[in-house]
Amino acid sequence: MIDSKLLETNFDDTLQNLRRRDPNFDLSLLRSLSFERKALVGVLQELQEKRNRINKGMRGASPDEISAKRDEMKALSMEAKAKEEELRHTENRLHDALLATPNIPRECVPQGVDESDNVEVKKVGEPTTFDFVAKDHVELGESLGLLDFERAAKVSGSRFVFLKGVGARLNRAIANYMIDFHAKEGDLELNPPLLVRGSAAEGVGQLPKFEEGMFKTRRGDDQLYLIPTAEVPVTNYYANEILEESSLPMRFFAYSQCFRSEAGSAGRDTRGMIRQHQFEKIEMVRFATPDQADAEHQNMVDRASRILSDFELPHRIVELCTGDLSFSAERCFDLEVWLPSQNTYREISSCSTFGSYQARRAKIRFRPAAAPGSKKKTKAQPLVTLNGSGLAVGRTLVAILENHQQADGSIQIPRVLQPYMGGQSVIEKTSD
């Protein structure tokens, strides 16, 4: 969540900056609650102080004295309790309002309304061209016997797929290549829980606003959510903890299944593997000091781009505009891969920095190293969390099929993946 102090010290700027996301943004409730809270605190503390003062004399007092003061104390106590109740109510409302407030975009984020205002930063490779009529991945996958959408629909409904045979193997090869890639860079691999408490989802900003996007499970009275991304469990790995500055930055990656209900996206990408209820992703998650954050961010973008280049996939990097920025993010770069069937670039990775927004929600702090001369213990402060896909496995599979298809309907396997495919270099139609 945003720093509530901004409401007092820097209200106009804060509002203006949030309006870069949405011109109709309204902070008036938040502000009035913040002032209301402050006033209540003052009144309550005065009452408590009075009560404490009287109470101090009670211990050694004679029974007469005690009974004399009793009524007064009782009245004070009641009054204080009523104020406490009032204060708690206000604080709860303030907290809820803060949870519903998105992160503030950085000054450098380009102004814009939606996707069309995103800014291309870099283009790697040229869109693939063919001297034959190119097929899409559904056609390729089905004709080569790699993908089975129909039977998946029979078993689980729409937006699911069976990968089979070489298709399953190729998927595994892609994932393994990426896992090894990050491991070689020295990041720590985590294999996280796929079911998380609501508190974890709240920590990254997924709850309370985006509950519709997640699958919920029930077990008795307990409720757990299927993770929409490994960001949720991995970022919360350090929830409620204080890290030493010397241990930062920390780099993790996790390979996991992800589950999204795709509520509200009816009709979008209904065909094929682009938008599934269940997909695999390798996610990079980082914890950094504010000074380190930008370099970490750039590093994740580079990683994702290098992997795409390794797979010989044309892609581009775009910076999201204020209107397209996700709820918790402060700045974000998307990597988009070229998809011949759609004749356009499609998102395959999203690398975001969250500033202290998530860290404040999940209560992840770091203790700055003491200045060389200083003897004082430093004050813990929220750190910076970042994450980025490196990459979405299913969409990578799609991109490889479509970009590396041959005139005869076969698929050329990128060189780096061949070792992961037992040396296989081409996927051809088998007579069946």
Residues contributing to the site for RNA (CB under 7 A): 5, 38, 41-42, 44-45, 48-49, 52-53, 55, 58-59, 66, 69-70, 73-74, 77, 81, 84-85, 88, 197, 219-222, 242, 375, 377, 379-380
Give the whole-angstrom CA distance, residue 350 versus residue 347. Answer: 7
Nearer to RNA, 184 or 375 (CB): 375
How near is the Cβ of 360 to RNA at its closest, in Å?
11
The secondary element (H helix, E strand) that includes residue 393 is: helix 393-403
How near is the Cβ of 213 to RNA at its closest, in Å?
22
How near is the Cβ of 259 to RNA at its closest, in Å?
19
The pair phi, psi for residue 5, each rounded to 5°, is -65, -25
How near is the Cβ of 45 to RNA at its closest, in Å?
4
How near is the Cβ of 15 to RNA at its closest, in Å?
19
Nearer to RNA, 37 or 172 (CB): 37
Nearer to RNA, 45 or 156 (CB): 45
Nearer to RNA, 199 or 270 (CB): 199
Q: Which residues pair with 427 in a beta bridge?
A: 411
Give the orientation angle of helix 166-184 with respect to helix 290-310, to 10 degrees: 140
Based on DSSP, count helices (H) and strands (E) in the chain, helices before strands.
Answer: 12, 18
Burial class (CB in 10 A: 0-12, 13-18, 19+), 7: buried
- C-beta of residue 255 within 8 angstroms of C-beta of residue 191: yes
The pair phi, psi for residue 286, each rounded to 5°, is -135, 150
How near is the Cβ of 205 to RNA at its closest, in Å?
20
- C-beta of residue 201 within 8 angstroms of C-beta of residue 207: yes
HEC sequence for 128-196: CCCCCCCCCHHHHHHHCCCEEHHHHHHHHCCCCCEECCHHHHHHHHHHHHHHHHHHHCCCEEECCCCEE
Fill in the DSSP letter of residue 405: B
Question: Which among 239, 232, 287 is positioned nearest to 254, based on CA atoms?
Answer: 232
Nearer to RNA, 52 or 111 (CB): 52
Residue 59: Cβ within 10 Å count = 7
State the catalytic residues.
260, 275, 347, 350, 395
Phi-psi category of 90—alpha, beta or left, where left has phi over 0 and alpha has psi -120 to 50? alpha
Question: What is the number of alpha carbons within 13 Å of residue 42 lying toward its C-beta?
Answer: 6
Nearer to RNA, 58 or 183 (CB): 58
- C-beta of residue 175 within 8 angstroms of C-beta of residue 293: no
How near is the Cβ of 34 to RNA at its closest, in Å?
8
Nearer to RNA, 29 or 68 (CB): 68
Give the whole-angstrom CA distance, residue 188 versus residue 182. Answer: 8
